[in-house]
Amino acid sequence: EAGVTQSPTHLIKTRGQQATLRCSPISGHTSVYWYQQALGLGLQFLLWYDEGEERNRGNFPPRFSGRQFPNYSSELNVNALELEDSALYLCASSLAGQINQPQHFGDGTRLSIL
Amino acid sequence: GEDVEQSLFLSVREGDSSVINCTYTDSSSTYLYWYKQEPGAGLQLLTYIFSNMDMKQDQRLTVLLNKKDKHLSLRIADTQTGDSAIYFCAQGSGGYQKVTFGTGTKLQVIP
């Protein structure tokens, strides 16, 4: 069974640009979660999508947005990039947005802002 | 609110047991998770325990839960150099899949 896949592995941008990160969940999983892991910090919850709808959002500005497609893959968009957006962005998926379904993670996209 | 705390660093000798501790605040937590993150990789789910359980064992891993003290621990028996990684504790709570992660404990295994 293929795991959660994320692309690209690395992404280098400059301040003010826009970044798009992609995630394909495990087959059969309908929920997708996005996290930011900045250097020296833990995981900060960004967004949760389930069945194409945004279900919950973390404490991030509106320039962080995303969507989930009919095939349950997801995109995270970050507009007007700032230096502090440099981080590892992790995507996770689960069978459904219920408490007894653990999240399975991809290897992340390393976003570097120059 | 929900908060999960872990010590930042643990160093053990190869072959010894490692015990990684975690405290959480949300008494309504239903599931508690342990994840492992190796350098340059995402988080790998190691094990999880339902809040009405006291213990769960899976090969070299033993999870102990003290619900009264809101304390969770992960014991790794016969620790190997391949166990060197960051270990995250996480709690799930709420009517939907809201998971809060700790800051992670970096385990260093000395040969």
The pLDDT tens digits of the residues spanning B61-103 come to: 999 999 889 999 999 999 999 999 999 999 887 555 678 899 9
**Contact residues on chain A for B48, CB-CB shorter than 8 A:** 102
Position A102 scores a pLDDT of: 85
The tally of CA atoms less than 13 A away on the side-chain side of residue B42 is: 24
Asked if A99's CB is within 8 angstroms of B92's CB, the reply is yes
For residues B100 and B92, give the distance between their C-alpha atoms in angstroms, rounded to a whole number. Answer: 7
CA angle B21, B81, A37 (to 5 degrees): 55
Q: Residue B2: which pLDDT band, with cuts at 50, 70 and 90?
A: low
CA angle A111, B90, A73 (to 5 degrees): 45
What would the two tokens of residue A15 be?
């301040």
Mean pLDDT, 10 residues at a time, over chain A (114 residues)?
92 98 95 90 89 92 97 97 96 78 92 96
B45 touches chain A (CB under 8 A): yes
For residues A48 and A68, give the distance between their C-alpha atoms in angstroms, rounded to a whole number. Answer: 9
pLDDT digits (tens, 9 = 90+) for B15-49: 999 999 999 987 776 789 999 999 888 999 999 99
Minimal Cβ distance to A102: which of B40, B45, B88: B45
